[in-house]
């Protein structure tokens, strides 16, 4: 396990809120010399604690509604086929711009986060046309997101441009 | 709807990959004058297309395993109670550092993304102790994430420090 002290954590917290903060702004806020802040950030990047810097996109680009969809395939007699079929579905879904995230779940499940236009009906139509038409599915369940309570920014993080 | 042209999109794509790129680096890569890039980024921020700059945390801080958990409560006779109870559960879950994200789903559902230590058993124990013990649940289903195919960085984005 990596050892982080209070100063490391304070720097990470501030950069998570606003990664444009300069070394001198961080130094002032945390009441430490600039050289210390500079050294710590360098180390945090070297150790891979900070993976990279990015932007979060705002309201104008965010889908108006979001659902999680769980997909479960049947388990074929020849199991070798299963992995290839799961890979095929995840790859196909991943290529679609309104599919924000895709994860494999267990041996024969897939969880996808899907964004849509103004209404949930549009996502429902997408699910009907794109997902429910896939062969050999045992289960498709849609979980519409009414509101995001923790991790609100995740949609602006995931959305494609 | 907001109008973005190819240059706006190219800038956003590059900043999503690396938000530390300077104006002059962006100008060089996109073969446009620095003044143009500067103006475009200013506009993108003003219009809220860029919400904010942040960091993604790397492997050392990421939970080793992640599950999505869907929770559904019973619907009480007095429905007024339902909203308060859902709010109570989402608030309680949101305060826990290993709970990466929480969304309300429909009237009586909650979807949570939960990270855990080395093994899935640790998350299972967390779900048993913290979630399955909640009263008036109709359903608790755990979807373990075997691998993330699209949106891999989402865990490093959501993880707390």
Nearest Cα of chain B lies from the Cα of A146 at a distance, in angstroms, of 5
Q: For residue A161, what is the DSSP state?
A: -
Q: Is the pLDDT of residue A31 over 70?
A: yes
Q: Is the pLDDT of residue A1 over 70?
A: no
pLDDT tens per residue across span B57-67: 999 999 999 99
Q: Which residues, in sequence order, are CB contacts of B75 under 8 Å at separation 6+?
A: B82, B107, B108
What torsion, rounded to 10 degrees, do the Cα atoms A58, A116, A107, B63 define? 20
User: How many other β-carbons are positioned within 10 Å of the β-carbon of residue A103?
Assistant: 25
- Reported as a pLDDT band with limits 50, 70 and 90, residue A116 is confident
Q: Which residues of B40-52 are buried (b: 16+ CB within 10 A; e: fewer)?
A: bbeebeebebbbb
* Residues of chain B found within 8 Å of residue A50, distances taken between Cβ atoms: 55-58
Task: Using a CB–CB cutoff of 8 Å, tell me whether A99 touches chain B.
Answer: yes
Contact A54 B53 (CB under 8 A): yes
Q: Are A45 and B57 in contact (CB under 8 A)?
A: no
Q: Minimal Cα distance from A68: which residue of B?
A: B111
Angstrom distance (rounded) from CA A87 to CA A81: 10
Nearest to A161 among B1, B9, B48 (CB): B9
Contact B55 A60 (CB under 8 A): no
Task: Using a CB–CB cutoff of 8 Å, tell me whether A5 touches chain B.
Answer: no
Q: Are A57 and B12 in contact (CB under 8 A)?
A: yes
Contact A13 B161 (CB under 8 A): yes
Q: ipTM of this complex > 0.95?
A: no
* Residues of chain B found within 8 Å of residue A106, distances taken between Cβ atoms: 143-144, 146
Contact A143 B106 (CB under 8 A): yes
Q: Is the pLDDT of residue A133 over 70?
A: yes
- In this structure, the strands spanning B99-105 and A109-116 are unpaired
What torsion, rounded to 10 degrees, do the Cα atoms B41, B46, B51, B53 define? 40
CA proximity to A54, closest of B52, B152, B6, B101: B52
Q: What is the DSSP string of A90-140?
A: HHHHHTSTTEEEEEEETTTEEEEEEEESSSHHHHHHHIIIIITTSTTEEEE
Helix, strand, or coil here: B62? coil
Task: Using a CB–CB cutoff of 8 Å, tell me whether B113 touches chain A.
Answer: yes
Q: Minimal Cα distance from A17: which residue of B?
A: B54
State the pLDDT at residue A38: 98
Q: Minimal Cα distance from B62: which residue of A?
A: A49
Residues A100-122: what's their mean pLDDT?
92
Task: Using a CB–CB cutoff of 8 Å, tell me whether A3 touches chain B.
Answer: no
Contact A104 B59 (CB under 8 A): no
Q: For residue B131, what is the DSSP state?
A: I
Q: Minimal Cα distance from B4: which residue of A?
A: A161
Q: Are B70 and B105 in contact (CB under 8 A)?
A: yes
State the pLDDT at residue B116: 86
Q: Which residues of A75-93 are buried (b: 16+ CB within 10 A; e: fewer)?
A: eeeeeeebeebbeebbeeb
The parts of chain B modelled with pLDDT lower than 70 are 1
Tell the residue number behind the tokens 């104008």, with chain if given: A60
Task: Using a CB–CB cutoff of 8 Å, tell me whether B60 touches chain A.
Answer: yes
**What is the overall mean pLDDT for chain A?**
95
CA proximity to B115, closest of B131, B127, B133: B127
Helices (H) and strands (E) in chain B, counts: 6, 5
Phi, psi angles (nearest 5°) of residue B10? -65, -40
**H/E stretch holding B113:** strand B109-116
Nearest to B47 among A60, A93, A94 (CB): A60
State the pLDDT at residue B11: 98
* Residues of chain A found within 8 Å of residue B158, distances taken between Cβ atoms: 151, 154
Q: Which residues, in sequence order, are CB contacts of B113 under 8 Å at separation 6+?
A: A151, B66, B67, B68, B69, B99, B100, B101, B102, B158
- In this structure, the strands spanning B99-105 and B109-116 are antiparallel
Q: What is the DSSP string of A58-86?
A: -GGGS-SEEEEEEEEE---SSTHHHHHHH
pLDDT tens per residue across span B115-151: 987 777 889 999 999 999 999 999 999 999 999 999 9
Q: Are A111 and A105 in contact (CB under 8 A)?
A: yes
Nearest to A51 among B90, B151, B156 (CB): B156
Residues A58-70: what's their mean pLDDT?
95
Contact A103 B149 (CB under 8 A): yes
Contact B16 A49 (CB under 8 A): no
């Amino acid at each position: 396990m990596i050892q982080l002290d209070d100063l490391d954590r304070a720097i990470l917290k501030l950069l998570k809120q606003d990664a444009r903060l300069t070394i001198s702004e961080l130094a002032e806020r945390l009441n430490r010399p600039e050289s210390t802040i500079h050294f710590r950030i360098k180390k945090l990047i070297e150790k891979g604690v900070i993976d990279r810097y990015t932007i979060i996109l705002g309201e104008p680009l965010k889908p108006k509604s979001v659902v999680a969809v769980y997909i479960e395939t049947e388990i074929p007699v020849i199991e070798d086929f299963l992995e290839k079929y799961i890979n095929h579905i995840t790859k196909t879904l991943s290529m679609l711009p309104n599919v924000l995230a895709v994860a494999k779940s267990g041996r024969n499940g897939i969880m996808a986060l899907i964004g849509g236009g103004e209404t949930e009906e549009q996502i429902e139509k997408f699910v009907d046309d794109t997902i429910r038409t896939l062969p050999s599915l045992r289960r498709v369940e849609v979980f519409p997101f009414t509101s995001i309570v923790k991790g609100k920014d995740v949609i602006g993080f995931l959305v494609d441009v």
